[in-house]
A and B are shown apart, each in its own frame.
Chain A
Amino acid sequence: MTKTGSRIAAIAAFLVALAACGGSSTPTAQTDVGVTSNSILLGNTIAQSGPAAAYGTIANAENAYFTYINNTQGGVNGRKINFKVLDDGYNPANTVTLTKQLVEQDQVFAMFSGLGTQAQTAVRDYLNSKKVPQLFVATGATTFMLDYGKPSTADASIKWNYSIGWQPPYQGEARIYAKDILANHAGAKIGVLYQNDDYGQDYLKGLKDGLGSNASMIVDAESYDVTAASTVSQLVKLKASGADTLFLFTTPGFTIPALVTVTKLGWAPAIYLNSVSNPQVYMGIAAKNGAALKNVTSVGYIKDPTDPRWASDAGMQLYKTVIANCTTCNVNDGFNIYGAAVAWTMVDVLKQAGSNMTRANVVSIATSGLNETNNPFLLPGVVVKTTSSDHFPITQEQVITWNGTGWTLQGSLIDERGTIK
């Protein structure tokens, strides 16, 4: 396209956008940028190359769900969902450029399920100042729920009321562990291994807050950087500290070797494993590599595709039908059912928006009007809910313990709604 051509196109798009913003031309249905009579365009940035490329499959699974909806239901209210995914390589600078491209050039209606705390923090001000929805970001960083509606720290004139997360906040999960340990192992001496980023730090904070006045139960907390060759040194120190309970706030690439190392050190602590690292595939690798895996506790909120319990479950059947639309997706990968589940919520929001398909309305439903009790990919009873005063979509999780071949659900769902402040 020639320079002038693209200029004309840009002006034309600008005029279209202007007309769409006016919105009065169509009296029956309200729409916005990125919405036509038969389509809705959503944008996404995610790491599909580079150090965090293992997450990239999430977007493919989300796309598989949208394809399923388009093929079986003709989209939402007659509008097919188009999903444009761009690879940011886990570099926030790329995320900024690609997000601008999706918003200004591709004219997306909303950004959906962008991945990474730093990356999504980098575009939060931009998206909110442009009033483009930043929906259901793929991070459990508490700030995307807790700081809803607050002014930006860089520019107070920008309010963060177009952004929201989806998955349970890391802090909430850690609080559930704290509850479990206070109830079942009140005399425990806790050692913590955590990644030195927002993810690890959020977990550690949640654990401390959850233990409250009993925070002194934590006898040692050791951090590591993602560039570390191993965490052996930290684990030796934790063992020497006299801890009898080990918390692993680590990503799968470090969790699996850490579980093996614990066994190699002749150490047998009770182990609490964060939910990012607990998919059965990873436990299988750890076991194969020699980890003892005794006394391991974690939490879950999504159905595990490898769990035989769900073999005849309708939700799991649906997941398998959906994921067949994605040739590169491994059906057993926990990230894929995560993608399907969050895409389910997205479609749910669009259905609720109905004929009023404006950014403002969709954001309002997502951040304050969600009440989803039937997401088929989540554990029975898990509700996805937001109100005008509560912007934590998922807060319930269930304690699970490892039985040697799979996870066993323990007790009932624990709800941390309203505890994180």
Chain B
Amino acid sequence: MQELLQQVVSGIATGGIFASLALALVLIYNAMGLVNFAQGEMAMLATFVALALIDHGMNYWIAFPVTLVIAFAGGIAIERVVIRPVERAPILTLVIVTLGLATLINGLAGFIFGYVPRAFPSPFPVQTVNILGALASYQDLGVIAVSAVVLLAIYLLLQHTTVGLTMRAAAHHPEASRLLGVRVSWMLALGWGLASAVGSVSGIMVAPILLLQPNMMQTIIIYAFAAAVLGGIESPIGAVVGGVIVGVTVNLAGVYLPFVGGDLQLAVALAIIVGVLVLKPNGLFGRPSVRRV
């Protein structure tokens, strides 16, 4: 019982990692109906930028917002240069472009920063708190708390600000929005900038836990896919809930399903993706969509 509880608590902590990246995926999806395969790699690159700033003597709490701004600008720049020329192309084209972007950024980071893992500072101590006998560290709780703050910010942005509403409108009804004078293309760029910034928060939060190196997000992105799909890919709250469920499921499946064991954690994520998509494509919090013809 004690172990089960600890597995659940630890799973929630790991789920926080998945959730934070899944939130960035959800933002892009809301902005343009696309899953960005390069989201994890962009987050990794932003984290390296943050580390470079800190290594040059910048205070952590200054480096953090500076990185956010750089990531935001970088996201917009990437959208303008790489996505804009193909923004009305079929989904296959867009997917291939983001996949190319992922490959490119990963190789570039390896080339620039090398592959030796690096320590990344964390604002939260690793001291633990006791929750009904299960232990959780402030660091893990911090990741979840920050994810919650980001979630709240995204929710307020999308639901209660003009910018957010315009962004969603531009994604769902580009033609109508254009007629109303919305600069649809810049809305996409804004979406990329915001997602990139949210991704960089994720990178900065998880780097102390995972170790910063170019391949840091390579498998995490799959777990984040699972989280986003499970939650319903357009729902920010779904991303967080999905992340936590994936984290806990992966932990429990590894321990209590002998045929899974510790080796097939990623396969559990794949099973979640396929299972949800086949059985309940809108996930837990997504709204059913009408198939456009």
CB pair B11 A233 closer than 8 Å: yes
A290 B125 Cβ-Cβ under 8 A? yes
| Distance between Cα atoms of A199 and B249 in the complex (Å) | 28
Provide 25 A-B residue pairs closer than 8 Å at the C-beta atoms, listed in order of the A residue: A49-B107, A54-B117, A54-B213, A224-B263, A224-B265, A225-B262, A225-B264, A227-B265, A229-B18, A229-B223, A230-B210, A233-B10, A233-B254, A234-B262, A236-B10, A237-B3, A256-B117, A257-B210, A264-B136, A264-B139, A265-B10, A284-B119, A285-B119, A290-B122, A333-B116
Contact A229 B250 (CB under 8 A): yes
Q: Is A223 an interface residue (CB 8 A)?
A: yes
Residue of A253, A260, A264 near B135 (CB, 8 A) is A264
The reply to whether A225 and B263 form a contact with Cβ atoms under 8 Å apart is: yes
A290 with B139: in contact, given A233-B11, A234-B254, A265-B6 (CB under 8 Å)? yes
* 18 extra interface residue pairs, beta carbon distance < 8 Å, beyond A236-B7, A264-B126: A223-B261, A224-B265, A227-B219, A229-B14, A231-B262, A232-B251, A233-B10, A253-B117, A263-B126, A264-B128, A265-B135, A266-B128, A285-B211, A289-B119, A289-B126, A289-B211, A330-B116, A333-B116
**Chain B residues whose CB sits within 8 angstroms of the CB of A374 once the complex forms:** none
* Residues of A contacting B289 in the complex (Cβ-Cβ under 8 angstroms): none
Contact (A237, B255) CB under 8 Å given A229-B17, A256-B117, A285-B117: yes
B123 within 8 A of A: no
A253 to chain B, nearest CB (A): 6
Contacts of A106 in B (CB 8 A): none
B59 on the A face (CB < 8 A): no
Name the residue of chain B whose CB is nearest to the CB of A335. Answer: B116
**Which B residues between 216 and 272 are near A, CB-CB below 8 angstroms?**
218-220, 223, 250-252, 254-255, 261-266
CA distance A308 to B121 in the complex (A): 26
Q: Is B275 on the interface with A (CB-CB < 8 A)?
A: no
The residue of chain A having its C-beta at the shortest distance from the C-beta of B126 within the complex is A290
In the complex, A237→B253 CA distance in Å?
Answer: 12
Chain A residues whose CB sits within 8 angstroms of the CB of B263 once the complex forms: 196, 223-225
Contacts of A285 in B (CB 8 A): 117-119, 211
A183 at the interface (CB under 8 A from B): no
B122 near A54 with CB under 8 A, answer no
Q: A337 to nearest B CB, angstroms?
A: 15
Q: Is B140 an interface residue (CB 8 A)?
A: yes
Residues of B within 8 A of A333 (CB): 116
A56 interfacial contact with B, CB 8 Å: yes
Q: Is the CB of B262 within 8 A of A233?
A: yes
Q: Could you tell me if B115 and A227 are in contact, using CB atoms closer than 8 angstroms?
A: no
- Residue-by-residue, is B183-209 near A (CB-CB < 8 Å gives 1, otherwise 0)? 000000000000000000000000011
Chain B residues in contact with chain A, CB under 8 A?
2-3, 6-7, 10-11, 13-14, 17-18, 107, 110, 114-119, 121-122, 125-126, 128, 135-137, 139-140, 208-211, 213-215, 218-220, 223, 250-252, 254-255, 261-266
Interface residues of A (CB under 8 A from B): 49, 51, 53-54, 56, 196, 222-225, 227-234, 236-237, 239-240, 252-253, 256-257, 260, 263-266, 281-282, 284-285, 288-290, 330, 333
Known: A53-B110, A54-B116. A236 touches B6 (CB 8 A): yes
**5 closest A-B pairs by CB:** A290-B126, A240-B3, A53-B115, A233-B251, A227-B266
Q: How far is the CA of A415 from the CA of B223 in the complex (A)?
A: 45
B126, A54: Cβ atoms closer than 8 Å: no
Minimum CB distance partner of A227 in chain B: B266
| Complex contact B211–A56 (CB within 8 A) | no
- How many Å lie between the Cα of A142 and that of B278 in the bound state? 45
Complex CA distance for A124 and B137, rounded to whole angstroms: 48
Q: Are A225 and B251 interface neighbours, CB within 8 A?
A: no
Say whether A49 contacts B251, CB under 8 Å.
no
Q: Which residues of A contact B218 (CB under 8 A)?
A: 51
Given the known inter-chain contacts A49-B107, A53-B110, please indicate yes or no for A264 contacting B265, CB distance below 8 A: no
| B18: chain A residues within 8 A (beta carbon) | 229
**What separation, in Å, do the CA atoms of A224 and B254 have in the docked complex?**
9
User: What is the minimal beta-carbon distance from A213 to any residue of chain B, in angstroms?
Assistant: 27
A350 to B2, CA, bound (A): 61
Q: Are A232 and B10 in contact (CB under 8 A)?
A: yes
Q: Which residue of A lies closest to B135 (CB)?
A: A266
